[in-house]
Structure 1
């Protein structure tokens, strides 16, 4: 049976990718003295969703030809390479955006957060596996009041190789002492999906405006497991569990293994009667 569900953070529990893309656009605006944020930075960042800061900043820098603007600022930012200046600028802008926890609450994905809480209430083990750094992760989890909903939190500091390398998902399986095939991953990016598939886990790809095109073009995952309607997430999770029970364990009627909404308190049931 599926005994653990692992969630990505950016783009899955919260729409932070949208905010990070806007932060890159503002950073480029400031670098080039533009009158408004540069939409090309948003499109460049879209191609890097699911990678770490270094990969994203390097790509945006090369795509937009920013090195000549960044290099003179290296002493100011104590940077050894131009991409690090862009990372510092983007990070400062993003941190200012999300300093108010309400911004994160307003940008959460309610159905993925709901699935996380439901899994925990049903006794399923839960984990977070993200390329983001621990300080940023803790800020988001606190803002969304999710600390107690997670049994395990793995961040960029816990692995040598970020996604798309499967290291972080294999580490989750190791920490839980579970075989990979008994775990379900909810990811939104092609790189995240690649990592989970390479780890041998069941995967739901949660398509967002930033990742839907890349998910289909990557062909890493059967299209039937790419979710386009967020309110259908629980239904798809149930389908994954049923198929897993039939194919792996030979369960003819796997309904008893499903996630279910927790029963109402006694007083609520009495009122309903």
Structure 2
């Protein structure tokens, strides 16, 4: 049986992955005005859901931004070019987070509805996100979900972020629920792999950034094809069916 449903945040509850992509693109353009922001946004899709270091390092290398970033090391008290790049990017991203209306406009209504009625379907809920704690709190407040989860684990609470399973081990341990009795809701390949490695069942709601990669994971047997929900309006239906199947199997 399923006793816990664990939600991802960025890309699953709210389309902050779009905002993150835009912030990286704007930062890259600030560092090199010859860069096409749309190309950076597209490149972000290959690293969506990964750590700041992984994302920034990949984009630095792909767009030749290491030297321009070095010029900002002192301004951001950074030791490495990727940290300076992130510093430039966070100016844009935090301005977006400071706009609650923008965050609400980017919410996924079907995932939010599922969370609002979560306790009608299952016992407990948790959030497992690669975002920092302050960003997480800001997004949840804008969406009206402060206090909505029984447990929250962020990038500040773990040593390694997704695709490492640590964040899932943390929330299941905190709530004393075996991973085999938990279900993850994810949008990114990194998140799906983290949940799978931790031993959770997983339902994926792909975005335009992650659709091809999520279907590739289904083809590889990492996630059942029936658990890939391209139509977000079907999320609640698929979750209900998965919970019912798990309940029947426990009898």
Question: What TM-score does the superposition give when structure 1 sets the normalisation length?
Answer: 0.87
1:78-97 matched pairs, under 5 angstroms: 78-97=77-96
Alpha-carbon separation, structure 2, partners of 1:107 and 1:144? 10
Q: Deviations over 1:152-210 (max 9, x none)?
A: 11111111111111111111111111111111110000010001011111110111111
Deviation, structure 1 residue 74:
1.5
8 A contact 2:70–2:81 mirrored in 1: yes
Offset at residue 122 of structure 1 (A): 4.9
Rounded Cα–Cα distance in structure 1 between residues aligned with 2:105 and 2:123: 27
Distance 2:104 2:146 in 1: 14
Mean Cα deviation higher: 38-47 or 80-89:
38-47
Q: Measure the CA separation in 2 of the matches of 1:75 and 1:147.
A: 36
Give the Å deviation of 1:76: 2.4
The CA distance in 2 between the partners of 1:157 and 1:146, in whole Å, is 19
Q: CA deviation at 1:123?
A: 5.7
Q: Matches of 1:96 and 1:236 in 2, distance apart?
A: 35
* 1:66 to 2:46 alignment: no
1:26 is matched with: 26
Structure 2 unmatched runs, 5+ = none
The residue aligned with 1:239 is 241
For residue 104 of structure 1, report the CA deviation from its aligned partner.
Answer: 0.5
Residues 103-118 of structure 1 aligned to structure 2 (within 5 Å): 103-118=102-117
- Provide, for residues 43-75 of structure 1, a one-character-per-residue CA deviation record: whole Å limited to 9, x for no partner: 221111111111110111111111122122222
Residue 27 of structure 1: CA displacement? 0.9
1:4–1:184: 8 Å Cα contact kept in structure 2? yes
Query: Which protein shows a greater Rg?
Result: 1
Give the 3 Å change call, closer, same or farther, for CA 226–123 of structure 1 in structure 2: closer
CA RMSD of aligned residues (A): 1.4
User: 5 Å matches for 1:2-21?
Assistant: 2-21=2-21
Normalising by structure 2, we get a TM-score of: 0.94
Q: 1:121 Cα deviation (Å)?
A: 4.6
* 1:126 corresponding residue in structure 2: 125
The separation in 2 between residues aligned to 1:80 and 1:217, in whole angstroms, is: 37
Among 211, 221, 232, the alignment partner of 2:223 is: 221
User: Does structure 1 retain, via aligned residues, the 8 Å contact 2:4–2:122?
Assistant: no
Consecutive unaligned residues in structure 1, runs of 5 or more: 252-273
Aligned in 2, Cα 1:158/1:147: closer, same or farther, shift over 3 Å? same
Write out per-residue CA displacement over residues 90-111 of structure 1, whole angstroms, 9 at most, x where no aligned residue: 1110111221111101100011
Q: Which residue number in structure 1 is paired with residue 186 of structure 2? A: 187
Give the Cα separation in 2 of the matches to 1:223 and 1:105: 30
* Cα contact 1:120–1:149 (8 A) shared by 2: no
| Higher mean C-alpha displacement, 213-222 vs 103-112 | 213-222
